[in-house]
Structure 1
């Protein structure tokens, strides 16, 4: 009997233990469910907050786009102004995010607030500056010196025996120059320190290659594009030629990988330019042509656009090519056309503004003269039109979307555009 009672007590103890364990498990499951629901609630709340913030940002972005891109500004305020040493001023060029100022007696590199980063003195009778990426070169046309710079200052000086006709620079500091003598023209190459490379091209007007009119180096310095004039049946014709100085070009005689005569029958090519390492363009008196050197040994004419009217101006950046031509129809005497490097048109716009300079900086086209300016965005909308009470020689984008850097012979100013009109 005592054993039976003892067994009953053990059975009851086991039953009690199971009940306690089941209750504990149930309580744990309830706790996990509560925590899970709480986490889900927090996630939903965060998602709602994110969607609200995203909506506000999107609305703000649309508003900012309209404010900075669609409005027509006619007023401005001066943010800051700095007096500059005029010297024998010749011109300004965009150099990186800053400006290269050059004259007959020296050059200076100015930051976005007009402060001189460096100054270099020299003496030239006819200086002409070119820029590519991190390097600039200033050549004394019909003289014998080329100064080469990076953003820290002078890297070298190239000295020539023959007079300099044209010069171009790559973004790695390699310089190519057309040199002239009485019997022929030559294209010589120089390193960034000014020392000569063991490469040259000889050209004759009556020879197979023709007479070099203009040249352009690709940014990486491995390709040279040239505009040539040559005689054909007693008539002067244009030609575009490509040379490759990379390892792959050694397999081709004279490193000449492509020549284009047929597109310029009875036309002359005045200017050529590499936009990047793949795309380049050539400006003739009756057309603009877009080339690709994606295949290094076989350059391709991607597109040629005939121009019936007289070409007044050509200008370009890495991303765009701009033309201004006569407009024979209607009351507007000029037509502005902008293209991408592959020849696709971005926009076309007629106008009657009397400009003297045209530039592209970022997503804006600048037309300006000595005391006024027009700015178009890449939708062809007139963003700003206004006059200034100070002389103007160069205009570019400022530090913010609605500011411009306006430079003259004696000063540099940053102006903030102000709404004075409405949608265009």
Structure 2
């Protein structure tokens, strides 16, 4: 009997085993493949949507770029206008987001919305100013005071014993100043707080080095380019010299690492400028010279651009150099040439306009006089030409591609350029 019960139990177990159906491996594989294909399909769909959106955005960006590049504005409207503090106005320089206004009795920094960020009072008989990146310097020519500023205000004041001829500043706030003595001139250096740096260059007026005409510091403050005038065979000649004040320059006497005389025989160099830490230029009456200091101990003249006619104006930014010449050929009275910092030509354009100032601001070349302006882009296209019913002292680009900030002695306006718009 027990054997029968045992047999029945085994039969029931066997029936139960047969009723349990195991999961099919093939079905698991099919299910995973379906999920995988679904995910791949979703990814492809998302990628196609991304490509379409990217294509639309790219087309919009190209269209917008083309519009701003080729359109010519014929009118403007005033976005805002603000009155400025009156004073014995001398000039404006591009500084930070807008301009540095300086006069005989003080200076102020005005931002891109016409707000005076700071005001500094002083007394100078003949203020001269220079800007390099976030720092500015104002010196009293033939006086003895040098004021140093950043975008937050005055950082220091340097007082000299000898009269000041010129001053320049680096993008780190180091100041170099030409000081005049009866028998020699000196280039002294000062920190941003106005304290004296124990570095100087002595130039004998009757010596081989010549009379210093202009100087410029590199943005990092370690290099100085100088323009000098000296007498040779009864004729005044120009010279460009480079000094290095980094550690590497200690190995050279007077830290003089390079000098160029030959390009300026019977010619004078009126102005020099470091455009960035590598490239610099010199403006002479016979043309423009472009230099490179990639080799800190051996500056190189990389391009000499001769002046085809008399030079009327020179101007520059950290990326471009502009020159305006009298045009003896053709119907236009003047010729505008713009170059990159390495001396390569960007564009050339003839024009008739009677300007008094020329600036480069970003990718704009701005010519203006006391009541009108002409604005070119870096393709040489005339973007805007207008006459204003208010006095102009400075024009620069606004916050948007189709805006300009126009500053006068006592007021500032931001204007929006329009196609076929009315003058307001």
Q: Which residue of 2 aligns with 1:191?
A: 191
The answer as to 2:341 corresponding to 1:341 is: yes
Which 5+ residue runs of structure 1 have no aligned equivalent?
none
Q: Which residue of 1 aligns with 2:315?
A: 315
After TM superposition, the structure 1 stretch with the greater mean CA deviation from structure 2, 128-137 or 200-209, is 200-209
Q: CA deviation at 1:5?
A: 8.9
Tell me which residue corresponds to 2:406: 406
3-state SS of 2:22 partner: helix
Q: Which residue of 2 aligns with 1:33?
A: 33
CA distance, structure 2, for counterparts of residue 347 and residue 206 of structure 1: 42
Name the counterpart of 1:53.
53
What TM-score do the two structures reach when normalised by structure 2?
Answer: 0.94
Contact 1:391–1:408 (CA under 8 A) maintained in structure 2: yes
Give the distance between the partners of 1:20 and 1:373, measured in 2 at CA: 88
Q: Which has the higher mean CA deviation after the structures are superposed, 170-179 or 28-37? A: 28-37
**Structure 1 segment 296-315 matched on structure 2, within 5 A:** 296-315=296-315
Question: Does the residue aligned with 2:123 lie in a helix, a strand or coil?
Answer: coil
Correspondence for 2:43: 43
Give the match for residue 149 of structure 1.
149
Deviation at 1:137, TM superposition (A): 0.5
Deviation at 1:228, TM superposition (A): 0.6
Q: How far off is 1:266 after superposition?
A: 1.4
SS of match in other structure, 1:391: coil
Q: How does 1:119-158 map to 2 (within 5 A)?
A: 119-158=119-158
Q: Is the 8 A contact 1:205 1:229 kept in 2?
A: no
Q: Distance in 2 between matches of 1:270 and 1:164?
A: 18
CA contact (8 A) 1:166 1:178 kept: yes
Query: What does residue 352 of structure 1 align with?
Result: 352
Structure 2: state its 5+ residue gaps.
none
How far residue 385 of structure 1 moved from its aligned partner, in angstroms, is: 0.9
Contact 1:186 1:203 in 2 (8 A): yes
1:20 alignment counterpart = 22
Distance 2:304 2:19 in 1: 94
Q: Shift in Å at residue 35 of structure 1?
A: 1.8
Tell me how large the CA RMSD over aligned residues is. Answer: 1.8
Q: Is the 8 A contact 1:78 1:415 kept in 2?
A: yes
TM-score (norm 1): 0.94
Distance in 2, matches of 1:297 and 1:59, equals 48
1:143-192 CA-partner distances (Å, limit 9, x unpaired): 11111111111111111122111110111111111111222221111111
Contact 2:96 2:111 in 1 (8 A): no
Task: State the partner residue of 1:64.
Answer: 64
